[in-house]
Amino acid sequence: MVKRIVLVGLVLLLGTPAMGYGSVHEPVEIQVMGETLIAENAPFIENDRVYVLVREVSEALGARVDWVGETKEITLVREDRVAAFNIGSFTAAVDKEVRTMDATPLLIEERTYLPVRYLAEFLDFQVQWLADERLVKIELPENPDSKEAGEAHPYSKEDLLWLSRIVQVETGGASEDMMLGVANVVLNRVKSPLFPDTIHDVIFQVDVHTQFPPAHKASFTSLIPGELAIEMSRRALEGENNVETCLYFNNSPFRTKADDLYQIIDGEYFYY
């Protein structure tokens, strides 16, 4: 059973030399199933990741937390779900499947912190980051088949995951506009008769050229995207578009498509 709590933290409390982590920002709120609780340990943002105390949030999600001090291993158990990871490691074992993270668990003053997205998704919850509100929402996963037939922009959890992954690797630490633009190029290709008709197949398409080379690296299929990549991908899937019908982007101009240039975002050229 999931305990319904809300964790509200002032990051200001964490931006101290003693901690060594966290920047001075406005409060970050984390909602679990829509409700809140003042927690002893506030979340903080480090390298564009919202870190939370593992035990507090895990127990709020109904999970048991086991800690082995000798190996610095943390194991989370919720119903039949088991996730294990180590301090300083970029990999985790979720139901014996290896997952790759782009940030490591931290041990601060004998307490373990992990980016909230990894923690929640390891336990099979879905996470949404609302940047404007500085709010993380943790909910039970949706069943794509339960969406109402009249919904304007239906998409599956897999669609969001694949799109977020390609946005993450193609943009790195770029702006929201760049991430939104890349997401929409992929979605525009899905709609175009010139390309495959699913997000997955567009990403992995190999024609005359490999369309998205980073997708063909071994680590891509286990990558857990960052908060912002997921948020901008979700917004694109729900209809927000800043590149119209563009089908291409590149870090240098295409000589043969000069007339098709739509705009330049963060040094990337977007073309129809």
Residues of the chain with CATH 3.30.457.10: 6-139
Pairing of strands 111-115, 106-108: antiparallel
Q: Which CATH number fits domain 145-271: 1.10.10.2520, 1.20.1090.10, 3.40.50.300, 2.60.110.10?
A: 1.10.10.2520
d(CA 45, CA 61): 21
Q: What is the pLDDT of residues 46-81, one digit of tens each?
A: 888 888 888 888 888 888 999 998 899 999 998 888
- The rounded distance, in Å, linking the Cα atoms of 95 and 90 is 17
Span between the terminal Cα atoms of the chain, in Å: 50
The residue assigned the tokens 């709120």 is 29
This prediction has a pTM of 0.54
Higher local confidence (pLDDT), 16 or 103: 103
Domain with CATH 1.10.10.2520 in the chain: 145-271
CATH topology of domain 6-139: Copper Amine Oxidase; Chain A, domain 1 (3.30.457)
pLDDT, position 65: 92
pLDDT in tens, 199-230: 999 999 887 677 888 888 888 887 777 778 88
**Three-state SS for 16?**
coil
pLDDT higher than 50, residue 96 = yes
Residue with tokens 């890349």: 182
- Only one residue has tokens 């899905």, namely 190
| CA 94 to chain centroid | 17
| Burial state string for 67-93 with b = 16 or more CB within 10 A and e = fewer than 16 | eeeeeebbebbbeeebbbbbbeeeebb
